Amino acid sequence: MAATKLTRSQQIQQTILYPIDWLEERSGIVGGIKYFLFRKVPGDTNWFQTLGAATLTAFIVQALTGTILAMYYKPDPNGAYSSIQHITNDLFAGWLVRGMHRWGASVFIILMFMHMGRVFLFGAYKYPRELNWIIGVLLLTMGLGEGFTGYLLPWDQTSYWATVVGININGTAPFLGPFLAQFLQGGTYINADTLSRFYAIHMLLIPGAIFALIGLHLYLVVRLGVTSPPWSKEAAGKGPITNGKVTTGRRGLSRFGTRGRR
Amino acid sequence: MQPHDQHPHVPGPSLWPVGFAVGVVVLLIGLIVSWYVAGLGAVIALAFAFLWVRDLTTGTALVDAPDVEAEHAAAAASLLPADGGEPATPPAERYPRSKFLEASTLGLGAVIGGLVTVPALGFMVAPAFLKQGQKDHDIGPLTDYPEGTFVIATWMSDKSQGEVSRRTAFVRYNGLLGSQPSYTIISNHCAHLGCPVQPNGPLDDKNTKQLADVTLIPTVSIAGFGCPCHGGQYDTEGNRTAGPPVRALDRYSFSIRNGRLFIGKPFSVSHVEGTGSAAKIHKWTLAFPGEHVNGLESWLYPIQPPH
Ligand code: HEM
Ligand code: FES
């Protein structure tokens, strides 16, 4: 019975910490999140290095708004167009969520290209990050695939004929092109199954692949650390390097300024 | 190797990629200008690609045995068998039973995985290629097709699918060829990338006829066909006259039963000589729009999927 009574503020602290500790003890998740969010990065990273996270945010917005649109959209040739009209004109905030998904699609693609541009201009694709560039290229093709398959879904004249043209462009690829086109259409011509096929690819197949690839992409970002900008003094060995020790987060630093033939 | 080498995997500078890039540019220009230039470009690109690869691989483990530094040697040795063929750190002894269990777990997993994946993938891919043929379709009595003018016929190729299966063709009766009636039946799928070509000329849509799922719109006098998408133009035999299409418009075969016209299988056409019933049609198996059916470029499409 020697336990001293906790003060009010200690009590509150305990109430908050208890469930967090409970989780941490059983999963290590808090440590994991801390490891991910508070890892070391070069001191002179700048705003351009947020473009990757911006792209990620755009993708998450697409995934969320898309999931909600799917609750009202009907992927069948006789109902698709009218279900889109219903979403836009009748349902509460339907115009907003549809608009977010439609404009967000362009934002996502643009951000992806800007992120890719910054990686290129910073030379951040070089050793040891070549693999992450390759994963990035896969993400880019997947993202463009999302754009192509999503464009058909409103099932109006523009989307229908643009998709006819797009499928036939695929068809002109050498050797396997005709097979690719016929696979995309699900037959010799666009038919009743084509729309649901595109819908399944658009909402399940490609997003699943993108999620998986983003996982790998971020794993490599954390494992390898991010690069300094090419003008970095720190990286050239002229700036302060604390403790004289190059930590994991700083390993990329030593790259610049020491280039040359082996 | 230099002593404090931080990044041994970075290839050294090489000038050969410049030559490679020049070769690719010459190749691309050649595709427009002449085949000889393209061939020259290909040779240049290949030569410099070879030099570049050789430059990249010299001094790497692909070509030379690495002179492993002492510090790394131990790490390397535990991965590779040492010179005598003996692993430096012998793995723990393994029982045959554990090896068997490992192999059978992996094997069984592969079999189960295959049993699930193969039919599912087949279901995803095969329906697009099987049972693709279309049945002949009745597009009305012969009397609805006056001699010498085109009638726009649209019909549902599969009523169970509804409007999405609607097809359109331009049908012209050419009179008798000997004792046989002759029809020109041109598909409306643009031979560039498949947009719907339109007749260049006025329609007589007051006399539109509706027969079951078939609609017939007579034209007055048309000068050919034009595509709304990228401006492809065709004459009244479907020959390309301008724009990006790579061949003439596709056509349909036909048959006549009990005084009615039946539309048959579509086929592709490279070009047509002559007009009307005297036309000589250069006929090929159906290809997707945008694909050459004859000439050098057709080698790019050696096999067509079953249509
Ligand atoms: C779905 C699309 C993508 C997402 C969500 C994404 C996300 C990210 C994030 C969050 C980072 C770390 C922060 C940053 O450097 O900005 C990153 C780094 C990187 N990304 Fe992407 N990315 C995407 C597409 C691409 C593409 C298209 C490429 C190039 C073809 C690419 C190549 C790279 C590389 C090489 C890095 C490492 C950069 C460094 O370490 O400094 N990524 N990505
Ligand atoms: S689809 Fe007809 S010109 Fe391009």
Of the listed ligands, the closest to the CA of B227 is 2
Residue of B nearest to A127 (CA): B10
Atom of ligand 2 nearest to the CA of B244: 3
pLDDT at A258: 38
Are residues B148 and B281 located together in one domain of the fold? yes
Pick from B74, B96, B128: which residue ends a domain?
Answer: B128
What number is the average pLDDT over the span B65-92? 54
Ligand 1 centre from A111 Cα, in Å?
10
Chain A contact set for B287 (CB, 8 A): 178
pLDDT at A2: 60
What number is the average pLDDT over the span B145-174? 93
Q: Which residue has the higher pLDDT, B5 or A118?
A: A118
Q: Which two tokens stand for residue B148?
A: 């010498």
Residue B2 touches chain A, beta carbons under 8 Å:
yes
Average pLDDT, chain A: 89
pLDDT at B1: 40
**pLDDT above 60: residue B2:** no
Q: Is B10 inside any structural domain?
A: no
Of the listed ligands, the closest to the CA of B197 is 2
Q: Is B9 inside any structural domain?
A: no
Confidence label for B95 from pLDDT (cuts 50, 70 and 90): confident
Q: Which residues pair with B186 in a beta bridge?
A: B170, B251
> Which CATH number fits the domain that encloses residue B227?
2.102.10.10
Q: Is B306 inside any structural domain?
A: no
Residue B286, ligand 2, Cβ within 6 A:
no
Number of domains in chain B: 2
pLDDT at B189: 96
Residue of A nearest to B122 (CA): A183
Share of chain B above pLDDT 70, in %: 86
Pick from B76, B102, B128: which residue ends a domain?
Answer: B128
pLDDT at B96: 86
Q: Which two tokens stand for residue A183?
A: 């696979």
Residue B31 touches chain A, beta carbons under 8 Å:
no
Confidence label for A168 from pLDDT (cuts 50, 70 and 90): very high
Confidence label for A98 from pLDDT (cuts 50, 70 and 90): very high
What number is the average pLDDT over the span B84-112? 81
Closest by CA to A161, choosing from A153, A169, A152, is: A152
Q: How far is CA B3 from CA A210, A250, B65, B70, B304, in A?
A: 42, 21, 18, 12, 60
DSSP output for B189-222 = B-TTT--B-EESS-B-GGG-EEETTEEEEEBS--
Residue A128 touches chain B, beta carbons under 8 Å:
yes
Are residues B165 and B235 located together in one domain of the fold? yes
Say whether B165 and A192 touch across the interface (CB within 8 A).
yes
Size of interface A-B (CB pairs under 8 A): 103
Q: Is B214 inside any structural domain?
A: yes
Ligand 2 centre from B221 Cα, in Å?
23
Confidence label for A254 from pLDDT (cuts 50, 70 and 90): very low
Share of chain A above pLDDT 70, in %: 89
Read off the pLDDT of residues B175-186 as tens digits, 9 standing for 90 and up.
998 889 999 999
Say whether A182 and B128 touch across the interface (CB within 8 A).
yes
Read off the pLDDT of residues A8-28 as tens digits, 9 standing for 90 and up.
999 999 999 999 999 999 999
Most confident of A243-247, B14-18, B24-28, B93-97: B24-28
Q: Look at A114-123, A231-240, B85-94 and tell me which has the smallest mean pLDDT.
A: B85-94
**pLDDT above 90: residue A235:** no
Are residues B21 and B83 located together in one domain of the fold? yes
Say whether B288 and A171 touch across the interface (CB within 8 A).
yes
| Mutation test residue for ligand 2: of B168, B197, B227, the one with most atoms within 8 Å of CB | B227
Are residues B226 and B283 located together in one domain of the fold? yes
**pLDDT above 50: residue B251:** yes
pLDDT at B4: 47
Residue A226, ligand 1, Cβ within 6 A:
yes
Are residues B199 and B282 located together in one domain of the fold? yes
Chain B contact set for A179 (CB, 8 A): 129, 305
Atom of ligand 2 nearest to the CA of B232: 3
Q: Is B5 inside any structural domain?
A: no
Read off the pLDDT of residues A34-57 as tens digits, 9 standing for 90 and up.
999 998 888 888 899 999 999 999
What number is the average pLDDT over the span A130-156? 97
Read off the pLDDT of residues B276-289 as tens digits, 9 standing for 90 and up.
999 999 999 999 99
pLDDT at A253: 40
Are residues B70 and B215 located together in one domain of the fold? no
**pLDDT above 60: residue B82:** no
Q: All domains of chain A, ordered by start, with CATH?
A: 48-227 (1.20.810.10), 232-262 (no CATH)
Residue A124, ligand 1, Cβ within 6 A:
yes
CA atoms within 13 A on the CB side of A100: 18
Residue A76 touches chain B, beta carbons under 8 Å:
no
Are residues B141 and B284 located together in one domain of the fold? yes
Q: Is B307 inside any structural domain?
A: no
Q: Look at A21-30, A158-167, A230-239, B240-249 and tell me which has the smallest mean pLDDT.
A: A230-239
Are residues B94 and B146 located together in one domain of the fold? no
Say whether B7 and A127 touch across the interface (CB within 8 A).
yes
Residue A181 touches chain B, beta carbons under 8 Å:
yes
Are residues B145 and B91 located together in one domain of the fold? no
**pLDDT above 50: residue B23:** yes
Pick from B128, B159, B191: which residue ends a domain?
Answer: B128
Q: Give the domain extent around B97.
A: 16-128
Confidence label for B164 from pLDDT (cuts 50, 70 and 90): very high
Residue A142, ligand 1, Cβ within 6 A:
no
Q: Which residue has the higher pLDDT, B189 or B68?
A: B189
Confidence label for B120 from pLDDT (cuts 50, 70 and 90): very high
Give dist(CA B135, CA B133) in Å, integer: 7
Confidence label for A216 from pLDDT (cuts 50, 70 and 90): very high
Sequence letter at residue B41: G
Q: Is B162 inside any structural domain?
A: yes
Most confident of A3-7, B14-18, B245-249: B245-249
Q: Which two tokens stand for residue B260?
A: 């009615």
Residue B290, ligand 2, Cβ within 6 A:
no
**Which residues 10-49 of A have a C-beta within 8 angstroms of B?**
none
DSSP output for B244-283 = S--SPPPEEEEEEETTEEEEEEEEEEEEEES-GGG-EEEE
Q: Which two tokens stand for residue B307?
A: 């249509």
Are residues B117 and B260 located together in one domain of the fold? no
Residue B6 touches chain A, beta carbons under 8 Å:
yes
pLDDT at B68: 54
Are residues B235 and B151 located together in one domain of the fold? yes
Are residues B124 and B145 located together in one domain of the fold? no
